[in-house]
Amino acid sequence: MPGEAYRTSVRKIIHIDCDCFYAAIEMRDDPQLAGRPLAVGGAAERRGVIATCNYEARAWGVRSAMPTRQALKLCPDLLVVKPHMEAYRLASRQIHAILREYSERIEPLSLDEAYVDVSEASHCGGSATRMAREIRQRVWQELRITVSAGVAPNKFLAKIASDWRKPNGLFVITPDEVEDFVAALPVSRLHGVGKVTADKLSRLGITLCSDLREWDKLALLREFGSFGERLWGLARGIDERVVEADSRRQSVSVEHTFDSDLPNLQACLQQLPGLLEQLEQRLARLDGSYRPGKPYVKIKFHDFTQTTLEQGGAGRDLDSYAVLLGAAFARGGKPVRLLGLGVRLIDLREAQEQLLLF
């Protein structure tokens, strides 16, 4: 049968993604905000960044992780409100409670995003499409915010599907549709393919997954190292990752690849405040079962060599990260294409289990 070689194993994965989550909560709780460009983030005068924004703001070019000062230049009427994390956490818990009625196999990616494996679920006659439709309806009825959903035989495709008809959409990729759907998919949509990899693929004449399928696995390994094997599988719709219901995070980080290389340490230090604010926002999303531990920095130099440096006992303030960044930069002393800040996490739940054990 045509396409049989690309057939994925029969699983039913739903990817749930809230639409402009923080902004949606703010508009729900204050209806006067609806219909005007709105962003949630830090103040421009404190070198803040945008955490998220509504679709009215996106129409002006405002995007997540953009400096607030830049966002206000693009959209002078933009209203920027500070985050109300407890309200977002409460909404997230309510959404997860709904999801648990359909399956215990839930892998949260953040407060507003999760995978749900409903392969064994009996709700809705076992139809993942009907379950996704019902989940979306219930979230709207109970929380008055919208979510988009993707249904597919694996995580990679489910995540792409949830973005296909945003906002407030549902898109389904059945096993029989995988081969044709993936063949026409731009390689830039593949999991793990960033701007640098996408540019390299383009230079090799690879823009669609159908182009990528013309390369054998060995050739991709030569060009992209171990990621080449991953590319070979994704181009065929193959993704065997399971929904990790009990996965625990080891760290939280943010990183940014710059369009132009940063020439020296001073240019790198100027990027720290914005990156640190993004990191603090991500840390604020964690539940109470984690405690921040060692801070670390990651640098990828212009020649793709990279280094990571962490420091036990160091603070998570701007000065502490600046010291770490200076020491990490000294290891290469070359123009920088990527900067990252992170924090190792202490799993309090695991520590409590160990205490009980002894």
Same domain, 280 and 342: yes
Of the residues 157, 175, 193, the one at which a domain ends: 175
Structure tokens at 110: 């953040």
Can 113 be counted among the known catalytic residues?
yes
Question: Mind listing the pLDDT tens digit of every residue in the chain (358 residues)?
Answer: 334 444 444 899 999 999 999 999 999 999 999 999 999 998 888 778 899 999 999 999 999 889 999 999 999 999 999 999 889 989 998 998 899 889 989 999 888 999 999 999 888 999 999 999 999 999 999 999 999 999 999 999 999 999 999 999 999 999 999 999 999 999 999 988 888 889 999 999 999 999 999 999 999 999 988 889 999 999 999 999 999 886 567 888 888 888 889 999 999 999 999 999 989 888 887 777 788 899 999 998 988 788 889 888 888 899 999 999 999 999 999 999 999 999 998 877 655 544 443 3
Q: Are residues 190 and 290 in the same domain?
A: no
**What is the pLDDT, as a whole number, of residue 247?**
59
The CATH number that applies at residue 43 is: 3.40.1170.60
Q: State the catalytic residue, choosing from 113, 134, 142, 350.
A: 113
Residues 114 and 16 in one domain: yes
This prediction has a pTM of 0.69
Asked if the structure places residue 161 within a domain, the reply is yes
* pLDDT for residue 275: 93
Residue 147 lies in a domain: yes
- Give the CATH number of the domain where residue 301 resides: 3.30.1490.100
Residue 257's pLDDT is 82
Residues 171 and 214 in one domain: no
What region does 281 belong to: left with phi over 0, alpha with psi -120 to 50, or beta?
alpha
Q: Are residues 106 and 157 in the same domain?
A: yes
Number of structural domains in the chain: 4
For residue 35, what are the domain limits?
A: 30-84
> Does residue 352 lie within any of the structural domains?
no
347 known ligand binder: no
Please spell the DSSP secondary structure of 292-321, one letter per residue: EEEEEEEEEETTS-EEEEE-TT--SSHHHH
What per-residue confidence (pLDDT) applies to 122? 86
Whether residue 318 sits in one domain with residue 255: yes
Q: Are residues 155 and 296 in the same domain?
A: no
For 342, which DSSP code?
E
- Tell whether 189 and 220 lie within a shared domain: yes
Rounded-to-integer distance, Cα 254 and Cα 64, Å: 13
17 is in an annotated binding site: yes
CATH number at residue 209: 1.10.150.20
